[in-house]
Amino acid sequence: MKRHLISAADLTRDDAVLILDTAEEMARVADRPIKKLPTLRGRTVVNLFFEDSTRTRISFEAAAKRLSADVINFSAKGSSVSKGESLKDTALTLEAMGADAVVIRHHDSGAPHRLATSGWIGGSVVNAGDGTHEHPTQALLDAFTMRRRLGEGVGSDLSGRRITVVGDILHSRVARSNVHLLTTLGAEVTLVAPPTLVPIGVQQWPCEVSYDLDAVLAKSDAVMMLRVQRERMNAAFFPTEREYARRYGLDGERMARMPEHAIVMHPGPMNRGMEITAEVADSPRCTAVEQVTNGVSIRMAVLYLLLGGNEPALTAGTGTSTRTEESK
C-alpha cells in the first residue's frame, strides 16, 4: 500500500482485499472485553477536521485509540483556522508536533491531496472526506459490510455483485469513492439519480447510470441510499422534497421488490422520509448501524497498515492463526 490514502482509486484489488481482511481481524478485537491493541503505542494520529463531522471523527478517534495511538483532535471551529490560519501553516504546526498520521476532513476537494504532495508534512495522510471528491474509508467500510452480509468470505472480493447507489451523485464523495472501490473489487455499479444530480462527464466512469430506480431494484444485491441535502431543493435540482421522495426514495414497497438477500445501506446521517422511509431504515435489511460499527474496524485496519508496517496486528501469531482457521 502507498503511504497515504487519498483516493479509493489508489487501491489495487489486492490492497483493498488486504484492508478488508485486516479489518476482519480488527473486528475481533471489538468482541473482547478489553478492546485495545498495543500496535500503535507511541504514535500520534491527528484528526484535522475543517468540516463538522461527528460520526467520522469519533470513528477515527475510536480506531486510533483501540490501536493505542495518541490522538489529537483539531477542529477548525474555535481554532487558529477560524483566525485565518492557512492549511499550510496548520500543517506545519502539526508536523512540528510530530504527527505520524493526519486524518483530514476538508470542505475543499483536493485538500488532502495537496497536504500529501506539498511537502508540508512528512506523515501519512488519510482522507476522511474532501469536498465533493472522495471519502475512501467510507467506501471501504461499505465494501466490508457488503462482503459480510452477502456471504463472501475473507480473502474474497465482490466479483459479479450488483450494487446500486441512489441519490445526489453530483455532490457525493461517497459515491465517487464507491464507484472506484467497488469496480476494483469486481462489482457492477449502477448509479441512480435525477439527471440534475449526475455530473457532466459521468459517461467516463466505470459504471451504469439510470434515472429509473424501479428498473434496477430487482437486480440489485445492495442498494445504497445517499443523503440528499434539503438545500439542493433551493438550487432547482428537483422540484420538491415530496417529488424526490416519490421518484427516488426507498420505501417498503420498493424494498419488497428487491431480491430476498439484498441489503439496504446508508452512510448516514439519514433523512427519514426523504431518501428513505422509517420502515426501511428500521428494517433488518438496513445495515446503517452495522456500517458505523464496521467503520471503526476499517479505520483501525487503514491506520494499522499505513503506520504499523508489516508486523502482525494482533499479538504474535494470532493474526496468522485466525486467518488459517478462516480459510479452512
Partner 1 sequence: MSKILIRGANVLGGEPQDVLIDGETIAAVGTGLSADGARVIEAAGQVLLPGLVDLHTHLREPGREDSETVLTGTKAAAVGGYTAVHAMANTFPVADTAGVVEQVWRLGRESGYCDVQPVGAVTVGLEGRQLAELGAMHDSAAGVRVFSDDGKCVDDAVIMRRALEYVKAFDGVVAQHAQEPRLTEGAQMNEGVVSAELGLGGWPAVAEESIIARDVLLAAHVGSRVHICHLSTAGSVELVRWAKSKGWDVTAEVTPHHLLLTDELVRSYNPVYKVNPPLRTEADVLALREALADGTIDCVATDHAPHPHEDKDCEWGAAAMGMVGLETALSVVQHTMVDSGLLDWAGVADRMSFRPAHIGRLEGHGRPIAAGEPANLTLVDSAYRGVVDPAGFASRSRNTPYEGRELPGRVTHTFLRGRTTVVDGILA
Q: Which stretch binds partner 1 (CB under 8 A): 83-91, 208-216, 260-268, 278-286?
A: 83-91
Can residue 199 be called a binding residue for partner 1 (CB under 8 A)? yes
Q: What are phi and psi of 207, to 5 degrees?
A: -155, 170
Q: What are phi and psi of 132, to 5 degrees?
A: -110, 30
Least Cβ distance, residue 28 to partner 1 (angstroms): 35
Q: Which position among 42, 195, 201, 284 is part of the footprint of partner 1 (CB under 8 A)?
A: 201
Q: How many residues bind partner 1 (CB under 8 A)?
A: 26
Find the helix or strand (DSSP H, E) in which 46 lies: strand 44-49
Least distance CB 97 / partner 1 (angstroms): 21
Specify the DSSP class assigned to residue 11: -
User: Is there a binding annotation on residue 268?
Assistant: yes
Binding of partner 1 by 90 (CB under 8 A): no
Cα 178 to the center of its chain, rounded Å: 8
> To the nearest whole angstrom, how small is the minimum distance from the Cβ of residue 163 to partner 1?
19
Among the residues of the chain, which ranges form H helices? 13-30, 54-66, 87-96, 111-117, 136-149, 173-184, 213-217, 241-248, 252-256, 278-281, 288-307, 318-327
Q: Does 113 bind partner 1 (CB under 8 A)?
A: yes
Q: Residue type at 94?
A: L
* Single residue of 13, 65, 88, 285 touching partner 1 by CB under 8 A: 88
55 is in an annotated binding site: yes
54: left (phi over 0), alpha (psi -120 to 50) or beta: alpha
First to last CA, the chain: 27
Single out the segment in contact with partner 1 by CB under 8 A; choices: 35-43, 127-135, 247-255, 257-265.
127-135
CB of 207 to partner 1, least distance (A): 12
CB of 266 to partner 1, least distance (A): 20
Tell me the residue type at 23.
Answer: A
> 105, 161, 176, 299: which one contacts partner 1 (CB under 8 A)?
176
- Using rule CB under 8 A, residue 108 touches partner 1: yes
- Asked if 21 interacts with partner 1 (CB under 8 A), we say no
Alpha carbon distance 175, 132 (integer Å): 9
Specify the 3-state DSSP secondary structure of 63.
Answer: helix
Nearer to partner 1, 111 or 140 (CB): 111
135 is in an annotated binding site: yes
- Minimum CB distance to partner 1 smaller for 88 or for 285: 88
What is the amino acid identity at position 156? Answer: S
- Shortest distance (Å) from residue 222 CB to partner 1: 23
Which of 57, 149, 173, 227 is in the footprint of partner 1 by CB under 8 A? 173
- CA dist., res. 65 & res. 274, Å (int): 35
CB of 202 or CB of 314, closer to partner 1: 202
CB 272 within 8 A of CB 295: no
Instruction: Tell whether omega for the bond before 269 is within 30 degrees of 0, i.e. cis.
Output: yes
Answer yes or no whether residue 256 interacts with partner 1 by CB under 8 A. Answer: no
Quick one: which of 1, 72, 131, 233 contacts partner 1 (CB under 8 A)? 131
What is the DSSP secondary-structure string of 114-133?
HHHHSSS--SEEEEEEETTT
Q: Which is nearer to partner 1, 189 or 281 (CB)?
A: 189
Q: Which of these, 212, 214, 301, lies nearest to 258 by C-alpha position?
A: 214
Instruction: Establish if 193 lies at the interface with partner 1 (CB under 8 A).
Output: no
Q: Are 197 and 155 in contact (CB under 8 A)?
A: no
Q: By the criterion CB under 8 A, which residues form the site for partner 1? A: 86-88, 106-111, 113-114, 117-118, 130-134, 173, 176, 199-202, 204-205
Q: Which residues are annotated as a binding site for L-aspartate?
A: 83, 173, 227
